[in-house]
Amino acid sequence: MTKLEAWISKFLFSEDSSEKGLRNPQKVYDLLNIQPRGKIILISGTNGKGTTGEILTQFGLQKGLKVGTFSSPHLIRINERIKINGEPISDNLFLKSLESVKAAKGDIPLNFFQYLALAMMKIFNDENIDLWIVEIGIGGRLDPTNILNADLSIITNVQLDHEEILGKGIENIAKEKAGIIKENKKFIFGNSHVPNSLKKEIKIKNANSSFLKKDFEVKIKKESILYLDKKNQFKFEDKQNIDSSSIAIAIRSFLSLGFKISENQIQKALDSFSIKGRCEVISEDPYILLDVCHNLSALEKLKKELLKKIEGKKTAAIFASSKNSYDLISPLKEIIDCWHFPRCKERRLINPKQFLASVNNESIGSYGESLEVTYKKIKNKNEFDAIIIYGSFYLVGEFLESNLV
């Protein structure tokens, strides 16, 4: 265990995890005397937050800006959550910021996420970050990052997920996410169909709003993508099959903050794009893909990708999740030949035995074995052309950390 991991285990996990709201983070924020000098972007949404944030990071780097990126969760090391110019911060810098938060807060209770968010703000402030790209955890209204007075708020999309926290149905989820919209500031939504609760908040906040497919759009050609709005037109190639909506939102966002960007800079940024665990192909022979999709809309994107890439291939899937959801398995049953449900190191994941009823008995390869044993069993059989590892961040993170490929 590193010094940073020991500190987090000792102090962060001993905090009151039930602490909610923005009052306490705001108090500590003020005590830390954080005064951001750069532009701040808040990104919420059911899917696409990480992709949009990574594209914006690459845009900033192309322009020579000092870029800070905050995202969650991490795959292997907690440092991945806070990056400067695309690189995770050092243990020493992380530890220094956490100790600053601890000293400032005194007896003020903070939960784990509030602690991390304040550490990020302290770092970005002290490092004179030019562009803050800050991803919301869940929802938005009560997320600790929402104490930032963002220059631009983004909601990539609103889909059904985390209803046990955000409320049942699209309208309740949209209302929680709409809490990040700032009064008289810019707001971008990644759809032209706007939930009523979101419309209401836009009106209350008098936000300067833009909507995908209404105020800006992308057109996909065979060998290129075209971005269009009333003032701009950019043509570029997407060599990595990045989500086109995320590209459009990122371009619109960057321009709306007053930055200029050329077609060449957009192309270089997209060519440099890299985000682990999002439809990430780590081997071509056999074809091995990792994806942290954990809701239906993300799963549909994964399915489309697989239908293009594994047609005619004999395919094994390794799946683990914190949700006992038939919905995360059923859409792929027609293209997966053999299912494996390992017992991962993270005990918050559901007992793999509970997934067995979701698939046919003859398609079950194994369950309850370690991830390493599961993967080696598939490889040693040497009968599968494709292996799909998907579901929980914990599963994908453990696979990457194990260096099995």
In this predicted structure, what is the pLDDT of residue 310?
87
In this predicted structure, what is the pLDDT of residue 159?
80
What is the tens place of the pLDDT at every residue in 345-364?
998 899 999 999 899 999 99
pTM: 0.92
* Helix/strand/coil for 14: coil
Do 174 and 241 belong together in one domain? Answer: yes
Do 186 and 319 belong together in one domain? Answer: no
Do 347 and 391 belong together in one domain? Answer: yes
> d(Cα 246, Cα 254) in Å, to the nearest integer?
12
Low-confidence ranges of the chain (pLDDT < 50): none
Residue range(s) defining the domain that contains residue 125: 3-272
Do 259 and 305 belong together in one domain? Answer: no
Do 108 and 154 belong together in one domain? Answer: yes
CATH number, domain containing residue 348: 3.90.190.20
In this predicted structure, what is the pLDDT of residue 165?
63
What is the tens place of the pLDDT at every residue in 206-256?
999 999 999 999 998 877 899 999 999 999 998 888 889 999 999 999 999
* Helix/strand/coil for 33: coil
> d(Cα 205, Cα 367) in Å, to the nearest integer?
51
Do 210 and 350 belong together in one domain? Answer: no
Do 152 and 301 belong together in one domain? Answer: no
Cβ neighbours of 128 (radius 10 Å): 11
Do 258 and 290 belong together in one domain? Answer: no
CATH number, domain containing residue 157: 3.40.1190.10
Q: What token pair was written down for 161? A: 């997920």
In this predicted structure, what is the pLDDT of residue 172?
87
Do 304 and 240 belong together in one domain? Answer: no
Pair 127, 84: CB distance under 8 Å: yes
Pair 272, 289: CB distance under 8 Å: no
Do 105 and 204 belong together in one domain? Answer: yes
In this predicted structure, what is the pLDDT of residue 238?
81
Count of domains in the chain?
2
Domain boundary among 272, 296, 324: 272
User: Nearest 5°: phi and psi at 18?
Assistant: -85, -10
> d(Cα 181, Cα 337) in Å, to the nearest integer?
45
Peptide bond into 73 cis (omega under 30): yes
Domain boundary among 219, 242, 272: 272
Q: What token pair was written down for 230? A: 């009333």
Domain boundary among 233, 248, 272: 272
Do 82 and 161 belong together in one domain? Answer: yes
Do 302 and 258 belong together in one domain? Answer: no
> d(Cα 17, Cα 191) in Å, to the nearest integer?
34
